[in-house]
């Protein structure tokens, strides 16, 4: 398996990268970590005429906390995301999800921008971005625009990215609830999950659930946030009855694809189990803290 | 640095501390350039889509799949292959432990495992068996010799920490 021929470009700045993307239009494909695009090139599922290597745009490799947001540069690698103190402090859910991507060597190269642009419906970072209401910062011929992750992700591997545009950063609003969990089930360690669950919430002094955010991956063509389940949880005690009710309601609210390998009923039951598990691990972590 | 855009490219690559000038197509994978052009055949080519881990090398000291990297991308970066990690007459602690624990059968996956864990044990000198298994999940051994590989990594880690093992 060898890639089809292409012309290789190595821009030294964002401006140069954008100029190359504009010049070559749809024939150009940006490459950063290459952990998803590499296999597609090798198998010739992608045959771009021009490859624009973004790895020298080190200004896009950054993690920083502003007052009300965590901003992650598009070139930030999963391994850094998983270990950055800023992420561990302000958004540990994001760090935990990043630590579970692929394998050790894959995480050293793969980038957050690449993961969003690739938009695998079962991938970790799109799920976290949708669940936590993140915004993408996109640069292009018309300047810079921001788009909500939920609008950016349109379908399987289909995103709102126009010719000549490049993701430069991802912004997560802060603060979020201090209880969180990421749960995923895959057949083999490191594979994409069949179903994944991202959970974040706070609890008031009486132990009642506040500001729940619940997202599911692997159950639709894009990661889903479930506002009706979030509303259903508001103000209820985080006890076993509530958790089971929310999990059952989640399973009822989704309509996963039916296939011979993974029947819809299986994904539905997996979602229910993972929601229960996510609440339990969030609460257990709180007790241990 | 602005791009050379004509094919084939003339590249200056730093591999295992030596500089090599090669002339290769832009689409040539790092794994193939290491093997075909530089004669460094310790980097093995298995699945060629990043799953098996046999082609793992270090890029600027961090593990990476050579089959998901183009040699053209490596100008200005330091590549380290398994050839730099020990010699038959002077095995690294990890290689010695793999030998003693029979942590290899056919040996095809071994270079990728050596490269991965030479780095990982510097990052985490005292891993649990579970942590070793987690990292090892990125390297497929089709002989399924994982038990012995895990034992070897733990043994090497103990020795590198200066403990008897």
**Which chain B residues are Cβ-neighbours of A42 within 8 angstroms?**
29, 48-49, 67-68
Higher pLDDT, B114 or B4: B114
CA distance B138 to chain A (A): 5
Q: Among the residues of chain A, which ranges form H helices?
A: 14-24, 37-42, 78-83, 85-90, 92-99, 104-109, 112-118, 124-131, 149-152, 227-233, 240-253, 264-288
pLDDT (0 to 100) of residue B6: 65
**Which chain A residues are Cβ-neighbours of B27 within 8 angstroms?**
2-6, 41
pLDDT at B76 over 90: yes
Are the C-beta atoms of B52 and A188 separated by less than 8 Å? no
Q: Which two tokens stand for residue B13?
A: 């690559």
Contact between A55 and B73 using a beta-carbon 8 Å cutoff: yes
Are the C-beta atoms of A182 and A196 separated by less than 8 Å? yes
Identify which of A3, A79, A103 has the shortest CB distance to residue B138. Answer: A103
Rounded CA separation A36/A78 (Å): 13
Whether A106 has its CB under 8 Å from any CB of chain B: the answer is yes
Q: Which two tokens stand for residue A87?
A: 């992420």
Contact between A189 and B63 using a beta-carbon 8 Å cutoff: no
Q: Residue A172 belongs to what H/E stretch?
A: strand A166-173
Contact between B65 and A55 using a beta-carbon 8 Å cutoff: no
pLDDT (0 to 100) of residue B163: 87
Q: Residue B97 belongs to what H/E stretch?
A: helix B93-100
Q: Which CATH architecture has domain A185-284?
A: 2-Layer Sandwich (3.30)
Give the mean pLDDT of A110-132.
97
Whether A11 has its CB under 8 Å from any CB of chain B: the answer is yes
Rounded CA separation A276/A278 (Å): 5
Identify which of A7, A12, A34 has the shortest CB distance to residue B1. Answer: A12
Residues 6+ apart with CB under 8 A from B24: B8, B9, B11, B33, B37, B71, B72
The edge-to-edge listing of strands for the beta sheet with B9-15 is B18-24, B9-15, B78-80, B56-59, B62-65
Contact between A105 and B138 using a beta-carbon 8 Å cutoff: yes
- Beta-ladder partners of A148: A135
Cα four-point dihedral sign A248, A250, A252, A254: negative
Phi-psi region of A18 (alpha: psi -120 to 50; beta: other; left: phi over 0): alpha
Q: Which tens digit of pLDDT belongs to each residue from A52-62?
A: 999 999 999 99
pLDDT at A173 over 90: yes
pLDDT (0 to 100) of residue B1: 44
- CATH 3.30.43.10 is the classification of domain A7-53: yes
Which of A2, A32, A105, A186 has the most B C-beta neighbours within 10 Å, making it the best mutation to test the interface with B?
A105
Residues 6+ apart with CB under 8 A from A287: none
Higher pLDDT, B163 or A250: A250
ipTM confidence score: 0.92
pLDDT at B5 over 70: no
Average pLDDT of the residues of chain B: 95
Q: Which two tokens stand for residue B157?
A: 């880690």
pLDDT at A288 over 80: no
pTM of the predicted structure, to 2 decimals: 0.94
Q: What percent of chain B has pLDDT over 90?
A: 93
Residues 6+ apart with CB under 8 A from B153: B94, B97, B103, B117, B121, B127, B132, B136
Q: Which CATH architecture has domain A58-173?
A: 2-Layer Sandwich (3.30)
Q: What does the domain layout of chain A look like in residue ranges?
A: 7-53, 58-173, 185-284
CA distance A105 to chain B (A): 5
Q: Which tens digit of pLDDT belongs to each residue from A199-255?
A: 999 999 899 999 999 999 999 999 999 999 999 999 999 999 999 999 999 999 999
């Amino acid at each position: 398996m060898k890639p089809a021929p292409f012309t290789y470009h190595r821009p030294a700045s964002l401006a140069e990268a954008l100029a190359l993307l504009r010049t070559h239009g749809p024939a150009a494909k940006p490459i950063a970590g290459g952990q998803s695009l590499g296999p597609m090139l090798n198998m010739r599922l992608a045959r771009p005429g021009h490859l624009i290597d973004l790895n020298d745009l080190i200004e896009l490799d950054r993690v920083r906390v502003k007052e009300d947001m965590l901003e992650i540069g598009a070139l930030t690698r999963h391994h850094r995301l998983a270990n950055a103190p800023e992420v561990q402090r302000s958004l540990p859910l994001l760090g935990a999800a990043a630590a579970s991507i692929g394998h050790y060597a894959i995480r050293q190269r793969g980038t957050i921008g690449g993961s969003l642009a690739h938009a695998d419906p079962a991938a970790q970072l799109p799920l976290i971005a949708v669940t936590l209401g993140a915004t993408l910062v996109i640069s292009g011929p018309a300047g810079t625009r921001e788009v909500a992750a939920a609008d950016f992700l349109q379908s399987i591997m289909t995103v709102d990215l126009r010719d000549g545009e490049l993701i430069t950063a991802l912004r997560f609003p802060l603060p979020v609830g201090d209880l969180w969990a990421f749960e995923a089930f895959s057949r083999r360690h490191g594979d994409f999950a069949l179903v994944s669950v991202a959970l974040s919430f706070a609890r008031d002094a009486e132990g009642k659930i506040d500001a729940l955010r619940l997202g599911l991956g692997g159950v639709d063509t894009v990661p889903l946030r479930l506002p009706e389940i979030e509303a259903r949880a508001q103000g209820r005690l985080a006890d076993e009855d509530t958790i089971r009710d929310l999990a059952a309601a989640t399973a009822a609210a989704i309509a996963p694809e039916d296939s011979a390998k993974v029947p819809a009923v299986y994904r539905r039951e997996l979602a229910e189990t993972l929601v229960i598990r996510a609440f339990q691990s969030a609460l257990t972590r709180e007790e241990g803290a | 640095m602005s791009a050379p855009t004509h094919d084939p490219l003339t590249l200056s690559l730093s591999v295992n501390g030596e500089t090599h000038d090669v002339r290769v197509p832009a689409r040539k994978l790092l794994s193939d350039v290491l093997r075909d052009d530089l004669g460094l055949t310790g980097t093995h080519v298995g699945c060629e889509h990043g799953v098996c881990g046999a082609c793992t090398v270090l890029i600027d000291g961090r593990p990476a799949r050579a089959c998901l990297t183009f040699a053209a991308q490596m100008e200005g970066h330091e590549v380290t292959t398994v050839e730099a990690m020990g010699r038959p007459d002077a095995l690294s602690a990890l290689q010695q432990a793999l030998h003693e624990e029979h942590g290899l059968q056919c040996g095809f996956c071994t270079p990728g495992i050596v490269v991965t864990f030479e780095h990982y044990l510097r990052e985490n000198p005292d891993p649990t068996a579970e942590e070793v298994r987690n990292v090892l999940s990125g390297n497929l051994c089709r002989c399924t010799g994982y038990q012995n590989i895990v034992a070897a990594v733990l043994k090497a880690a103990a020795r590198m920490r200066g403990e008897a093992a």
